[in-house]
Homo-oligomer: A and B are copies of this chain.
Amino acid sequence: MLDALGDPTRRAIFELLAAGPRSVAEIAADLPVSRPAVSQHLKVLKDATLVSSTAVGTRRVYTLDPHGLAAVRGYFDQFWQQALAAFAHAAENPPEEEQ
Residues of A within 8 A of B (CB): 2-3, 5-8, 11, 14-15, 18-21, 52-56, 61, 63-64, 66, 69-70, 72-73, 76-77, 79-80, 82-84, 86-87, 90, 95-99
Interface of A is mostly: helix
Number of copies: 2
Give bound CA distance, A55 to B99, whole Å.
9
Does A8 contact B3, Cβ atoms closer than 8 Å?
A: yes
| Contact present for B79 and A18 (CB under 8 Å) | yes
Cα separation A97 to B52 with both chains bound (whole Å): 9
Given contacts A69-B79, A80-B69, contact A86 B6 (CB under 8 A): no
Contacting residues, chain B, for A82 (C-beta < 8 A): 18-19, 64
A44 to chain B, nearest CB (A): 12
Q: In the complex, A5 Cα to B21 Cα: how many Å? A: 26
